[in-house]
Every structure is written in C-alpha cells, then in structure tokens.
Structure 1
C-alpha cells in the first residue's frame, strides 16, 4: 500500500507565515515600535542581582513569585523583607542557566560588584542576603568569583509578554553571531533574562561593563532591533559610546537627574576592549524618537551658542561703530573750536 508523501512545502510556507505574522504583531515590525520616548524610562536603582535559573522557555509569567519555582520566590521574598536594611535599592532578575551560558541553577551575579556566587539554595538564602546584600561582606557559605568582560541581558520572557518572547531570542542569536565574528566570546556574555520592565519597549536589554576607574556601568536599551546589535558591540561595548536613539537610562541615576539627563554621553573609555580616543561627541543635543526608527537628533546647545555668538558679534560691531562715530563728532567739534579761537585772536 502506497504511503501519502508529506506536504513539506505547505508546512514550510505555513511556518514562515506564522513567523512573519508574529514579527508584525509582536516583533520588530509591530506598530508601536518607536512611538514613545525612551529616555528616562528606567526606575532608579543601585544594585542588580541576577539569579541563574532554568531556561527562559521554562519560566512562568511570574517566575519570582511562582509556587512551582521556590528558589527565585524565596530569594525575592528575602530581599523584599530586608529592603529597609539595604544600603541601595536592589533589583532581582532571573537569567538563563544551562549549556552555553556558563551558569548553573543557583549561581548569582551581582552588579556593580562584578561578582559571581555559586551554590545558592533555599537553605542558605538568608545568609546570602545578610552577608552580601545587607552587610556588603563576602558570603560565608557559597563560593565567590570575580567576573570580567561585558554582560548583555536580553529580555526573552515569553510567558510574561510575547513581545519580549519574539524579540529577545532573535537579538540573542544576532549578538552571538556578531560576537563570534569579532572573536569576543571570552569578553562579551549574552543571555536571556526575565521581565525588566517596559514590555512596550521590547526588545529590551541591559549592558553591564567595567569602565573608567574600575567603575561598572549599567545601561538600558529599548526598541532594539537586530540592525542595532553591531552598533551596541562596536560603539557601546568597544568604544563606550551611548547609542542615543535607543537608550533608556542607566543604573544609579536618581529620578530628577534621570529625567533631565542628556542622552548624548559617553561611557569613559568603554570596557577596555579598545580605548576610545575620540574626544568630540556627535549629536550633542536633544533627540526626538520618530516612527520607523527615524530620529531627528540635533545640537540644540550648538544652535543656541551660534545665535548668542551672532548676537554678540553684531552688538560688538554696533558698539564699535558708535565709538567711531562719537570719536569723529568729538574730533570735528574740537577742530571747529580751535579754528574759531585762532580767528578771534587774528582780529
């Protein structure tokens, strides 16, 4: 009896159609992309704790409060209970563990400390919070390791919001591709993380890097597309230049400064991959985010300075003209006076 061959062509077309539909509805082509202002959309915080736990496909929508996931729930509860004892506001996010991540369940990364702790379990969570987060001391139980390089955490929390679930994995794949091309596998780590806030800005990601004076910066980006990955690697991570058009904010900036902070800034000397020798910064004015990724950045300060300069220039010219005129009048009056005096004497 002859078997009916599978219609692989139809299946492929159907799969491709679903992918396209997802991209239009939830992905980089969705109508809401680039419709809102990004700058200032990050709530202030001073420390970020990442708990490595399972894969992003396994996380429930509320992984930090799920009854079926006691480790993240227990850690989140312990941090919340001690929030008044913490020196700085602390965020907790779950990141992916497993093959290719270099992390196992129960590993904890802490920024800006640039420290990795191994061996977190339900039974020792209280000691971790007490030692590390409250007293800023080495953990008396787990193993502590210093971490180097740059860390890129991409929100791929599909069960929380499909926009992140569609955009996140694509961005991670693109990052890994470009990292491989540049030979940066030992210098740049990229992984999936749970919800960080602002689903509407998906693709969302955070970059932690060591910068000048051994300080660590944490910069947030939104509306990131695969075409932005090269700039994030070559400009932000390598040179320390902020990508203005997709920048949301950064770790450690108070609310007032966050709202007023100019987007045109540079992370000093990047992260050490290559020293940034460019002193002049481009697009040092305000920036408005337009549709389809179009940005109309301009140097407002430069325009103001130019206007002021031109005003001063004409004012000085006018003042100079008045001085010359006055001098000419005084000279003429003096000449007439002398001539009249000589005329009187001659008579």
Structure 2
C-alpha cells in the first residue's frame, strides 16, 4: 500500500531523506523573505494547541500549506491546520517556524514521513524545538488542564521495531547510535519553571509538573489494563506523537523542550466483573454508562486544549523570548 502523501512514497534510503529535505527547504525559501530562511526555534503545535500561532507578531508572518511543500505528508486530524508559519515571536523578535499540526504514525504514514518535518527543520537551521502535545494523564496527581514538562519517555512502538531511525543511518544528520539520556534539555526545563513562576495566573488552579511520556501508536485510546501497565512502567502521561520527532531531532543535534497538556485523565480502575452482584437489576443502558465513565474522546481533548490554550501560549511565548 502506498504511503499516505500527495508527493511521494516513504524514502527508501538516508541519502533520499537528506535530498528530499533539502528540496523541501529550497521550495520553502522561495516563499518566504530571507530573514526567515534560518529560524532559530521550531514549535510543534499539537491537538487543540494551534492557538500558539496567536502569540507571533502580526507585522511579519508567512504561512505555507503542508500540501504545497514537496514530500510533506498530509495531516488528517481535526485540530491540526497543516501549515508552516514563519514569524517573529516576542519583543526580542526571535525568528520562529510554527508547525501547525503534525503527521501521526496511526494515519498510515511511515516513520520516515512522520519525522520528515523534523529533518526539514534541521536543514532550515533550527537550533531548538519546542514540541507540544495533548496527552492523557496517568499520574493520579495530575488534573485536566495541567501542563507537564517532559523529562523522559517510553517508546513502546520503538521497542517493538517501529523506530524512526530503523534502517541504514542517515550520516548527514547524525551518528548511528545516538544517546537519548540527554534528550530533554535540562537548561530548557529549568527555564520552563522559571517562566511559569513569573507568568502563572493567580486565579488559576493549573499546575506545572515534570514527568515521563509514553508513546503508543494509536489511534484507539488505551484500555484500562494498558493504562495500568504504562503507569506501572513509570509513565505519567500517554499519547500518540512527539517521541519520534524528539528522537530524530536529537539525532540531528537539535535541543528539545517538550510540553504535554493533560486533556483527559486516563481510567486505571478495572472494569466491573460480570458476576458483580451490584449489576443486578441494571438495564443495558445503565451498564453501558458504567463502562463509559471517564472514557476519553477527541472532542473533549480539543475542548480541554482550548480552555488551557492561553496559559500554554503565554508559557511558550515567554520561553522563546528568553532564549
């Protein structure tokens, strides 16, 4: 089956990846002024977090649709605009590129295409990536709307073979066996806390945490047993993105700050047993409602993102301004 893209099937060699990324960048640079040819920071905007685009300066911004860029995969997920937005951010006028949406493995893309935009960022000259996502909260101390600074990850898909660096190494980007113990930049995490202390709304109950993100393929949300497994393995949040981008960014020498917005609380309690006497007398509709308690859905994820958007946007904007 062909890869889900308007432009090409998945690249079959590291040399192709390198060449395709350069061709994409050559095209992009024909569409934007020279002062944006080498943005310092790339910001990946996850589900419901496209409002980060509202934090850039209005005097200079240039959008390019993913569908117009050679080799870029489609993004088909609600809440993802599918654009690169080049602009300045903050009073310091830091040149940035915003990725308004991302490609996901569950959409049918290969890992090469899921991470192609990250390779393009490297060729553009990006030094730092801020990666955001909407995630389920596994840690019982987390509440919906809290923000989590990621300090580590569990790459469940990668451990069973779906790894973005699988195959011949792309030597033009990085080494064969890149370490990931330093993937989540300590200085950037420190800066996130410092900024939050300055901008935290006094009227808000939203909290900033630090934790571990578990990457799963999706697109189904996790079962209760899977959530208990992931929590037992040390995960604080769970989602269907981010980790492939981070691995490729680190392989390419880009510094990483990753932020999860907790948009739903994962259900860890086991389901009721079929022989539970408390079920006696319940109608089918009542039993269905019992199973549905705490169930996640994408509309709720987007709504939680909208409610927390202002705080997340302010945090990202000020971190970039302080770089």
TM-score (norm 2): 0.27
Which of structures 1 and 2 has the bigger CA Rg?
1
**1 or 2, which has the higher helix percentage?**
1
| TM-score where L is the length of structure 1 | 0.26
Structure number with the higher strand fraction is 2
